[in-house]
Amino acid sequence: MTGKEPFESGIDIQISVETPGWPDADTLEALSKTTIDAAAAYLASETGQPFPVGGCELSLLFSDDDAMRAINQQWREQDKPTNVLSFPAFPVEPQGMPGPMLGDILFARETIEREAADLGIPFDNHLTHLLVHGFLHLLGYDHDDDEDADVMEGLETRILATLDLSDPYENTFPV
């Protein structure tokens, strides 16, 4: 064999579409797989992020503002919807080995639609950004302070560039 072998993340993505209005499950699955595989490949090659040899599982829930508001209230004591929430199955530090279950990422359709419209970008581009954002949270990245935010946003920007998407933070405040 010649050349570099393609990166196989071994991440099994389970999708649940809880509310109407989302693209069909096949479309969401294809977008999610492309995005997560690109993020995992970038992290493995550029940061040394390991992934379990036997693979791991990631759960994605596509919901709405009402459900997200209730979950955000319960887990974060914030009585409002948000675009994405991540719930790691196991605590992981950046570049640490995740367990067989990465965790859950939840999305609120109406909030994502509003933000995409406000940013003047296609819905799929914004959802792709939020998939990367949520995935990084599951791998221990955060944006609680400026230094952590710089690291996380830099990774998001570089991963999105591998997918031919522009910097989501350029000339905007992070969403």
- Count of domains forming the chain: 1
pLDDT of residue 7: 67
CATH number of the domain that residue 91 is part of: 3.40.390.30
The Cα–Cα gap between 150 and 73 comes to 27
Per-residue confidence of the chain (175 residues) as pLDDT tens digits? 344 555 677 999 999 999 999 999 999 999 999 999 999 999 999 999 999 999 999 999 999 999 999 999 999 999 999 999 999 999 999 999 999 999 999 999 999 999 999 999 999 999 999 999 999 999 999 998 889 999 999 999 999 999 999 988 875 544 4
Q: For residue 4, tell me if it sits in a domain.
A: no
Strand, helix or coil at 97?
A: coil
Q: In this structure, is residue 170 part of a structural domain?
A: no
174 within a domain of the structure (yes/no): no
- For residue 33, give Cα distances in angstroms to 59, 81, 112, 127, 128: 12, 25, 19, 13, 10
Q: Does residue 173 sit within a domain?
A: no
Q: What is the pLDDT of residue 9?
A: 77
In a domain, 146, yes or no: yes
> What pLDDT does residue 2 have?
41
What is the per-residue burial (b if ≥16 Cβ within 10 Å, else e) of 69-102? bebbeeeeeeeebbbbbbbbbeebebeeebeebb
Helix (H) or strand (E) holding 174: none
Q: pLDDT tens digits for 97-144?
A: 999 999 999 999 999 999 999 999 999 999 999 999 999 999 999 998
Domain containing 68 equals 11-162
Amino acid identity at 162:
T
